Amino acid sequence: MPSTPASSMNVSKRPSLARRFTHPLALMLMAAVLAGAGWWAWKTYGNGADPREQYQLATVQRGDIEDLVTATGTVQPRDYVDVGAQVSGQLKRLHVEVGSQVQAGDLLAEIDPTVLKATADARRAGLRSQRATLTERQSALALAELQLRRQKNLTAADATTTEALQLAEAAVRSAKAQAASVQAQIEQTESALRADEANLNYARIYAPMTGTVVSVTARQGQTLNANQSAPTILRVADLTTMTVQTQVSEAEVSKLRRGMEVYFTTLGGQGRRWYGALRKVEPTPTVTNNVVLYNALFDVPNTNQALMPNMTAQVFFIAASAQDVLLVPTAAVTMTRNAGASSRGARRDRGASDVPARSASRPEGASAPAASAPAASAVAGPASAPRGRGRRAAGDAATAERPAAGASGPVDRGTAGGFVGQAAPRAPRRGTVKVIDAQGAITERPVELGVVTRVQAQVLSGLAEGDEVITGMKPPPAAQRNASSGTPSGGGLTGGPAGVPPGSGRGR
């Protein structure tokens, strides 16, 4: 079939197009583009990537560290008295107000004494009447005794009868009984009079202690009823020493010890700290919404009157502390739990375990978990026993060895007022840290740790000041751009809470 002119043109163009792609300049250009793309991919994703650009780093520095037990408390006066009324009546006058400074014995309030004074006056009148009756009875007794002596004289002269003598003796005994009865009535009336006079004195209320009037619950002119219970009029407190009543959860109350240092801050204190020592933990808990809380009390001086009653206090019990020590982020530490098992990092990124130097550094750090097996087992307790049939035996063995563990054993809780006993210092914890040098080489080092918190850990050995450690993986560039622009990544899910150390939310 004869070819058309269009087909003839396509056939003629094909050789020229093939010659263009096989031209030396085109081949060199394509080779340069491929080489550049390969180099970029090798630097970004391959072994040529700078490890310092892949991981989040932190520098080992010196500083202070505190392991704290936090709680919320209320400031109250240590010494105070609720002043009440012991008698009923109208509050005639109130001599103080809230904030008044009073001394012991100062007059605080007066209750209308009209009824009380009348009662005392009536009792005095009755007492005078009874004393007059007693005088009459004593006169009758004297007459009866005189007649008895006359009858005895007449009987001796055989001038009277025996019956007359017996009547005289009976009259003397009756007169003595009547006089004794009136004397008893007088004593009873005197006792009642003393009570009436005391009630009359109770109408004037005096300060029982030196301090400040912190509250007034009654008003002048109010009628007070003290028949059932003593109504409270005001409260006097000594504000020179305050007591902080703190509620500690049952999960952390075992960390408290009598005499341990504690400090607190207030909402308006601008960061000022008040220090004290733990005085006692009340053994009876307070249950609120199925939450068990224990009251911990400690005293603080308040010489400048900066603390007021009912202030809210953020309390910090110092369980352990260290000053001017080497500190490393907790996210960079892989704690050693038990021997023979791969330990999990505390707040560490999972990607940090895939560093190129892992295979080379693992033999060096493999002996550290094995050497620390006794201490780690003592800390882990029966929970670290192997599962299976031998778990109970392993748990019994760990329990039997616990007293011999010494410092790494459980805390001696004692029985003194619900306080934890004074335990021996704990053995250092052990773990591993990945250290990166200036050239990007990564090594894994065993470390010993002292005080450990959720953010930082004290380094006893294994690191030097200025060493850089890996705390986690850096987020991908897209996530960094979204974070800088304020756009949440991950399908609309926001990142972790502000203030969380880098990598602390990863690696779990």
Answer yes or no: are the C-beta atoms of 112 and 204 closer than 8 Å: no
Whether residue 486 has pLDDT greater than 60: no
Residues 299-350 pLDDT 10s: 999 988 899 999 999 999 998 899 999 999 999 999 887 533 444 444 444 4
Handedness of CA 98, 104, 106, 112 (dihedral sign): positive
Return mean pLDDT, the chain.
77
Rounded to whole angstroms, how far apart are CA atoms 432 and 256? 30
Q: How many CA atoms lie within 13 A of 201 on its CB side?
A: 7
Q: Cβ of 31: how many Cβ atoms within 10 Å?
A: 10
Query: For the chain, first and last CA: distance in Å?
Result: 76
CA distances from 320 to 257, 376, 411 (A): 11, 20, 14
Report the alpha-carbon distance of residue 335 to residue 508 in Å, rounded. 12
Q: Where are the beta strands (DSSP E) in 253-412?
A: 261-266, 274-281, 286-288, 291-301, 312-329, 333-335
Report the interhelical angle of 358-371 vs 373-380 (nearest 10°). 70
Tens of pLDDT, residues 60-82: 999 999 989 999 999 999 999 99
Write down the pLDDT at residue 18: 53
Measure the CA–CA gap between 132 and 124, rounded to whole angstroms: 13
- pLDDT (0 to 100) of residue 9: 46
Please state whether beta strands 286-288 and 223-224 pair in parallel, antiparallel, or not at all (unpaired): unpaired
pLDDT tens digit string along 2-30? 444 444 444 444 555 555 556 677 777 77
Distant-in-sequence, close-in-space partners of 218: CB < 8 Å, separation ≥ 6: 85, 91, 94, 109, 224, 231, 232, 233, 234
CA–CA separation, 359 and 68 (whole Å): 38
Give the residue among 319, 318, 328 at the shortest CA–CA distance from 460: 328
- CB 72, CB 247: distance < 8 Å: yes
pLDDT at 409: 37
What is the sign, positive or negative, of the torsion defined by CA atoms of 43, 45, 49, 54? positive
Q: At what angle do helices 114-156 and 162-202 cross, to 10 degrees?
A: 160
Point out which residues pair with 212 in neighbouring strands: 101, 237
Which has the closest alpha carbon to 281: 411, 413, 451?
Answer: 413
pLDDT, residue 426, reads 66
Instruction: Write the pLDDT tens digit of every residue in 115-170.
Output: 999 999 999 999 999 999 999 999 999 999 999 999 999 989 888 888 999 999 99
